[in-house]
Amino acid sequence: MSRASAPSQTLLLASLATPGAICLGLFFLAPLAVVGVESLQDGGGGFSRLLSQPAFWSGLRNTLVLGATAGAISVVIGSLVAWHLAQIGERMRTALMFVIALPLTFSGLVVAYGFILGFGRAGFFTLTLEALFGVDPAAFAAFVYSPQGLAFVYSYYLIPRVVMLMVPVLVNFDRNQLAAAESLGAGRTRAIADILVPQVFPAALVAFCLVAAVAIGAYGTALALVGSQVNILPLQLFTAVSDVNADYARTAALAMILTLLCSLAMAVGEAVAVRGETGKGH
Amino acid sequence: MSVRLENVSFTYPGTPVGVEDVSLTIDPGEFVAVIGPSGCGKTTVLKLIAGFLSPDRGRILLGGQDATTLPTRRRELGIVFQNYALFPHMSVAENVAYPLKLRGVSADERRRRALAAVETVGLAAFAGRRPPQLSGGQQQRVALARALVFAPKALLLDEPLSALDAARRVEMRDEIRRLQQAHGIATLHITHDQEEALSMADKVVVMAQGRILQAGTPSEIYERPVNRTVAAFVGQANLWTGRVRDARQVETPIGRLSADLSGYRPGDEVCVLVRPERVAPGPAPDGINQFSGTIARDRFLGSMRRFDLSVGGGTVTVETKETSRIDTIHIAETSIQILPLDAEQNASETRKS
């Protein structure tokens, strides 16, 4: 078989990459550049006005706490689910992965309404708990509309992402290592802590960064559930762009900061992934 | 320290697979190899001794103490797994030091002992490397060093050579035996390679269908197999089903053979065993047990030649250093062993007839 020459191979690769590059340029880079330029109008005054507002800082803190909390909950639960899936037969695992991945196809709004129907004041679970244990529906339903409730709801569609990322890692983990550790004198917990955790931690950290970035940038679910009751940056941004009299430079600055946060989280995840890959072998 | 299994039985839940009534003793310093076809239960025996499985019946004794219900971590056994199960996130030295760390040995002391153990297996220059950076043979040595560094009561080897190439396998056999003898440790070696078992072990145990068929020295197993299954599994063998004609003769697919058939009655079905290296090329001085035929297959094996001679309705496999054309062979009466047909073989023969 003849090998294609280097220039023609480069041309082929470039032509394959072109549609993606056009999409990236038209729908991400160009709008981002416009927003970036907008944010720097009047010498970066938009950033000054934004950073001088206490509401921004409390919104930033809430956003980071929400991202970290939802990310942590999702990574813990998702990793446990993935560990279980890694230990069952391949056919059953494939079937369960299909079911687990379903929430990824729902929009944030659908998820929010689903939780309202389930855990809202007249929700199925709320009324069931009232009927069975006399739980106060108003007090119980308040949870789902709180920042903690938001983290809980976010976990619904973040956990499948974690499961998808962690299952291959755990399937490939050689469980003989745990048996070896036990034969060498380690208890089960010690073997997991010394052998399993260090090996899957990089993947878990990558998963955390990814889902934290998703949680930081998400607004649809939050909007449907809590409206403007919870001060987080995506809802601040939504409110600002909905306002016809908005300070566009300030709004653009807010968008840039939110983009930066999500990109930073993703970059940390990518860096961990690359480090994990290069540290594995030669 | 000795390892002893007393009438141990185990069945995997929901299956008929397992081991049945296994009794076995490994004396201190003894090297015992368990061989048998895939699924015969040899790895199950190792898992039972290691504590990864609990027997349904019977007892497991380590150094005379009942360890049947003792958890794995308290059995103090060094185990080398088929794929070595080294910890890829730790260096060679850290892998070897890990059992010492679990025993509360100080950092300095465990580093000193780990490096000494790594040096014993000839890997001092690789102490800082991670397992994925080592070859299969080197990983094997690390696994051995890790299994031996804490002076375990016994060593269990689960097909540790199966992942190596042929040349490295032979080299590692000697290495394992050297380390085992240096530590004077009771060792159980699981393998499906009969040559490996015969060349390494003080005692060989042959298993099939969850049961021990025969246990003995390598030469006992080879020279005096108890039945057809053992004879077929250990070494090359001519195995013919024959019918006893009288106290001196048996009818086989290659013809009538003179042999010592005392203990059998005319009409009995038996298994006739002749090792290929016991078949002599050329005519017999007295004409007894002499056969002529055509060579169906001839193989050059370096130090010898193995060929199949089509004789009558059967085939005789012969091993010889003779390189010239051969169409006549003979079999000394003393080279013929008469074995009872295995129950399964018997049933199969009955079905065929």
Q: What sections of chain B are H helices per DSSP?
A: 42-50, 92-102, 107-120, 136-148, 166-183, 194-200, 218-223, 228-233, 343-352
User: Of B52, B87, B98, which is closest to A179 when you measure between CB atoms?
Assistant: B52
Helix (H) or strand (E) holding B272: strand B269-274
Hey, are the CB atoms on A185 and B99 less than 8 Å from each other?
yes
Query: Inter-chain contact B73–A198, Cβ cutoff 8 Å?
Result: no
Q: Per-residue pLDDT for B238 more than 80?
A: yes
CB distance A190–B102 less than 8 Å? yes
Cross-chain residue pair B78–A185, CB shorter than 8 Å: no
Are A166 and A82 in contact by the 8 Å Cβ rule? The answer is: yes
pLDDT of residue A3: 54
Buried b (16+ CB within 10 A) or exposed e, B172-199: bbebbbebbeebebbbbbbbbbbebbbe
Token readout for A187 is 């208890």
* Chain A CB contacts of B103 below 8 Å: 185
pLDDT for the residue numbered A4? 56
pLDDT score of B342: 65
Preferred mutation among A169, A184, A189 to probe B, highest tally of B CBs within 10 A: A184
Inter-chain residue contact B79 with A186, CB threshold 8 Å: no
Overall average pLDDT of the B337-344 stretch: 75
Name chain B contacts of A193, Cβ cutoff 8 Å.
Answer: none
Query: Are B133 and A282 in contact (CB < 8 Å)?
Result: yes
Nearest-Cα distance to chain A for B56, in Å, is 21
Contact B146 A198 (CB under 8 A): no
What confidence score (pLDDT) does residue A282 get? Answer: 41
pLDDT at B135: 87
| pLDDT > 50? residue B336 | yes
In this prediction, residue B343 has a pLDDT band, given cuts at 50, 70 and 90, of low
Higher pLDDT, B323 or A159: A159
Q: What is the mean pLDDT of chain B?
A: 88
Question: Which chain B residues touch A280 with a CB distance below 8 Å?
Answer: 88, 132
Give the model confidence (pLDDT) of B183-195 as tens digits: 889 999 999 888 8
How many beta carbons lie within 10 A of that of residue A67, not counting itself?
Answer: 27
Minimum-distance CB partner of B73 among A176, A186, A194:
A186
Residues belonging to chain B with any Cβ–Cβ distance to chain A shorter than 8 Å: 50, 52, 71-73, 75-79, 81-83, 85-89, 98-99, 102-103, 130, 132-133, 146, 150
Question: Which pLDDT score is estimated for B112?
Answer: 92
pLDDT at residue B219 in the model: 92
CA separation for the pair A9, A15 (Å, rounded): 10
Q: How far apart are the first and last CA of chain A?
A: 31
CA distance A218 to chain B (A): 36
Please name the residue of chain A whose CA is at the shortest distance from the CA of residue B143. Answer: A180
CA distance A26 to A34: 11
Look at B102 and A199 and tell me if their CB atoms are within 8 Å.
no
Residue B109: pLDDT band (50, 70, 90) is very high
Rounded to an integer, what distance in angstroms lies between the CA atom of residue B172 and that of residue B137? 7
B219: phi then psi, degrees, rounded to nearest 5: -70, -35
Are A190 and B89 within 8 A, CB to CB?
A: no
For position A278, what pLDDT does the model report?
Answer: 61
pLDDT at B350 exceeding the cut of 70: no
- The 10s digit of each residue's pLDDT in B193-214 is 888 898 889 999 999 999 999 9
- Residue A183 to residue B79, Cβ atoms within 8 A: yes
Residue, of B282 and B351, whose pLDDT is higher:
B282
In the predicted structure, residue B81 carries a pLDDT above the cut 80: yes
- Closest CA of chain A from B83, distance in Å: 8
Kindly report which listed range (A19-33, A196-210, B136-150, B167-181) carries the lowest average pLDDT score: B167-181
Task: Mark yes or no for CB contact A179/B85 under 8 Å.
Answer: yes
Among candidates A141, A143, A142, which has minimal Cα distance to A125? A141
pLDDT along chain A (282 residues), means of 10: 69 92 93 90 86 92 92 95 92 92 84 87 90 88 82 89 94 92 93 93 92 89 81 90 83 93 90 71 44
Q: Which residues of A touch B50 (CB under 8 A)?
A: 179, 183
CB-CB neighbours of A193 under 10 Å: 13
pLDDT digits (tens, 9 = 90+) for B216-231: 999 999 989 998 888 8
